[in-house]
Chain A
Amino acid sequence: MVIDMKVLEVKDLQYYYQDGRKKRVILDNVNAEFETGKFYAILGESGSGKTTFLSLISSLDTPQSGEILFKGQSIKEIGYEKYRRNHISIVFQNYNLIQYMTAVENVLVAMGITDNKIEGNKKEVAYKLLEDVGIDKETADRRVNRLSGGEQQRTAIARALSTDPEIIMADEPTGNLDHETSGEIIELLMRLAHERDKCVIVVTHDLSIAEKSDVILQLDTEKKAFTVKHNMTGYEW
C-alpha cells in the first residue's frame, strides 16, 4: 500500500521581475502542496508562469519572497545544489542531454554527481534503468545526438530516475514529441508516480496530459495563483 506523504510545500511564493520601471508580477502568493505517489499536472496558458514555478521549486531560480519546503525543511537551508543533487530530478522539454555522450554515459554522469548511494555496478544499473524506459543496450551505447526525440526523452527520464530522487519534475516533457510518443512518455511518468512512489510534477499546456493526472494545479493568469483540482473521477475545470 502506498502511503502518500507530503514531500514539497510551497508557501506564499512570489516572483516578479523589473521591466524598466515597471514591476511584472509572474507569481503572487502561490501556495501548493505535493505528495509522493501522485502525478501532478500544472496547467496554464502560455506565459502564465508555470515554467517559472517549476524553476522555483526545482531551485533553478529563486523567488523574491515565500518559502519552498522539502519535507518540512526550507530548500535554502538544505542548499540548492544539494537539493537538486539528491532529492529532485528534472526532465526538460528539450531533453538537455550532453550531446557528445552516449545515453548510458548521460545516466552515469547523474549517478556520478548524486550523493545517494547506488547499489551494485553503476553501469549495469544504468543499462537496467534505460531498459526499463524502453532503451535497449545497443541504443544505450549510441551517442544521444543519434537518437530520436522519444529515445532522448526516455534517456532523460532514465537519468532522472538514476539518482533515486523523491520528486521528478518535468517541464513540457512531450513538447517536442509526436502524439503517440507523448502518450508513452506520460505513461512512463505516471508509472513512476504510482509504482515507484515518486512525486511527479509535470508542467504542461496539454489537456490530455492533465486528464491523466491525479491532481491538476491550474495557474490563474490574473490571480497569479493556483486553483487546485483533484482529478478523482475525471477532469473538471
Chain B
Amino acid sequence: MNLNYRVLLYLFRNKWKSILTIILFLVLNILLLSADIVGRSLENTINTFIQKAQPKILIHYELLENIGDAKIWSDEKRQHREIYYEFIDKLNLLKKNNSVKNVSYSVYKYCFSDNLSTNDKHDLDMEELVLYGVDEPLFYDVVNYGINIVEGRNISSEEIKSTKNVCIVSDKLRLYGKELNIGDMIPIDICCFITENGYPSYSSDSIVDKNTFYLEVVGVFHGNLGMFDYDAAKSQYDNNIYCPRKIVEKYQSVNEEQIEGNVQITIAGEANNLYYPGIRDISVELADYQSTGTVRLYINELFGEYNRSIYNLDSQGDPKHNYYYCIAEEELYQKTALTIHMLENATANIGKVTFCVYMVMALIEMIILLKIRQKEIGIYISLGNRKQDIIKQFIMEVGTINVISGVVAIMLVSSLINPMNKYLLNRIISVETTTYTTDDEGNNISKNALVDLNKIVQSERIDLDKTNIISIIFTDLVITVMAGTLCVQHIVREKPRRIMLDGD
C-alpha cells in the first residue's frame, strides 16, 4: 500500500473529519480572498470613478418638438439626450500635468456631403487630403481655416463609404507625452443617458446606450484653429459659442442619406483660450442624428474653473444661456479619495491581520489533527515507517484538503464578488454633490444629491485577479504544509515508545 493510497484511504474513511477540516480551511481561504477583493473593489471603484467623474465634453442633443428655425422649449418634461465623450488617454495625460491651466478639448465633427465646395472655409475637402511624403506639404494648405495640417494620409473611397471615424489631432498634444501617430486609434466612450430633469448631472436617470468607438488618427495639424473675423467679432457680444451658421443651416437640411457615405471627422486639439475654451467651428453630428434642431455643446474646463458652459450653436435659437456649476472632478475625487484610500488601507490591514490569523489557525488545526492521530503515527513508527514518509503522508493529506478548500473558496468568491462589490460601493462610500443651476427665471437654485456610485461604476465588473489567487492559495499551502511538517516533526522527534504511550 503506497503513500497516495494511504492518504486517500484516510480522507475517504474519515469523511466527516475531512469535510470539517475542509470547511475550516475554506472559511480561512474565503476571509483571505475577501480581504483582497474588498481592497481591489475599492481600488477599482476609485479608478473607475476618476475616469467617469472627469469633466466631460457633452454634446447635448435635444429633441425639440418643432423642426426648423422655430425653437420652442417645452415646459413640460424634457428629455435630454446627453452624450459625452471622453478622450480617456488625453484627459488622464492632462491630469498628470497640473501646471496646465484652462485647457480643454473641443470635439466636433464635420459631416460632409458629396457636394462640398473647396470655397467653404470650414470644410475640409476630402479630396484635398492627399498623401505626400514627410517633407512635402501633406495637405492642401488650409491655413485660412487655422488648420495647418502637417502630416496625414489619404482617406480612401472605401473608408468614405464605410463612414469610418477618423480624426485630425493637434501636434500640441504631443507635448503631453503621448506620441500621436498616423494610424493610432483614439477611443471615445459614448454613453447615452436620459435625464428627466433639465440639468444634467453625474447621476443620470438611466443609461440607454453605451459603447466605444474609435477614431483613427489620419492627420496632425499644427497649432489651434483660427476663426474668421466675423466669428471673432460676434463672439465679443455674447458668450454664445461661435456657431458657423452655414454649417447649422446645412445640417438642418441634411438627412440621413446624406450622412451616410461620409467620413466623419473629429478634430481635437488644444484650446485657444483667447476666445473660447476650445470651441471653434462647431458642427455636431452624430451617427444617430435623427432630426434637425439645435445642438448644444457643453464644455467643461478641466482646470481652474468649475463652469460648464452651454453654447448654443444656433444663434437664432435659444435666448437663454445657462450656466452650470458642478463640483469639479478634483473636488468630487477628493471627497471620495480620502474615504476610499482610508478604506483601502484598512482592507490592506485587514488582509494582513487575516493572514496572521490564518497562520495561527492553520498551526492550531494541525496540532489538533495530529494530536488525534498520534497513535496512528506511533503505529507507523513501530512498523518501521521512515519518518520522512510519515511527514510526506501528512503533508499530502493537508495539501489535498487545502487545494480542495482553496478551489471551493475561489468558486464561491468569484460568484459573490460582483454582488459584494455593488453592495460595498454604496454602503461604504457615498458622495454628495451640490449642483447650482438657474431656473427659467434666472434664479439660482442649488440642489444636493447623493451620487449613486453604482450608476457611475456599474459597468465595471471585477474579476478575481489570477495572480492574487495563485499567490494566496500558494501561500496557504506553504503555511499549512509548514505547520503540518513542524507538528509532525515535533511528534516523531520523541522516542517511539513515548509517542505510542502519549497516543493512548
Contacts and interface: CB of A to CB of B under 8 A. Distances in A.
Nearest to B503: A96
Contacts of A85: 383-386
Given A96-B378, A100-B10, A108-B1, A113 B496 contact: no
A60 B500 contact: yes
A55 B497 contact: yes
B229 interface: no
B13 A101 contact: yes
A111 B383 CA distance: 10
B1 A111 contact: yes
Interface stretch (A37-45, A76-84, A212-220): A76-84
A182 interface: no
Interface in A108-129: 108-114, 122
B384 A83 contact: yes
A197 B382 CA distance: 22
Contacts of B380: 109, 113
Interface residues of B, number: 26
Contacts of B500: 60, 96
B384 A101 contact: no
A96 B2 contact: no
Contact of A98 (B2, B379, B381, B495): B379
Nearest to A104: B1
A62 interface: yes
B179 interface: no
B384 A94 contact: no
Nearest to A59: B496
A146 B422 CA distance: 55
Interface of B is mostly: helix
A112 B504 contact: no
Contacts of A92: 382
Contact of B383 (A62, A100, A113, A143): A113
Given A55-B497, A60-B495, A62-B495, A96 B384 contact: no
Interface in A126-167: 143, 159, 163
A105 interface: yes
A90 B1 contact: no
Contact of A81 (B9, B376, B387, B498): B387
B97 interface: no
Interface in A41-97: 55, 58-62, 81-86, 90, 92, 94, 96-97
Contacts of B385: 81, 85, 113
A111 B389 CA distance: 14
Contacts of A58: 382
A59 B381 CA distance: 10
A159 B389 CA distance: 19
A110 B498 CA distance: 21
A148 B223 CA distance: 99
B379 A96 contact: yes
A228 B92 CA distance: 97
A98 B376 contact: yes
Contacts of B387: 81
B496 A60 contact: yes
Contacts of A113: 380, 383-385, 389
14 contacts: A55-B497, A58-B382, A61-B495, A61-B497, A84-B381, A85-B384, A86-B384, A97-B379, A101-B9, A111-B1, A113-B385, A113-B389, A122-B1, A143-B13
Interface of B: 1-2, 6, 9-10, 13-14, 375-376, 378-387, 389, 495-498, 500, 504
Interface of A: 55, 58-62, 81-86, 90, 92, 94, 96-98, 100-101, 105, 108-114, 122, 143, 159, 163
- The 10 nearest A-B residue pairs measured at CB: A85-B384, A84-B384, A112-B1, A100-B13, A60-B497, A108-B1, A60-B496, A61-B497, A55-B497, A113-B385
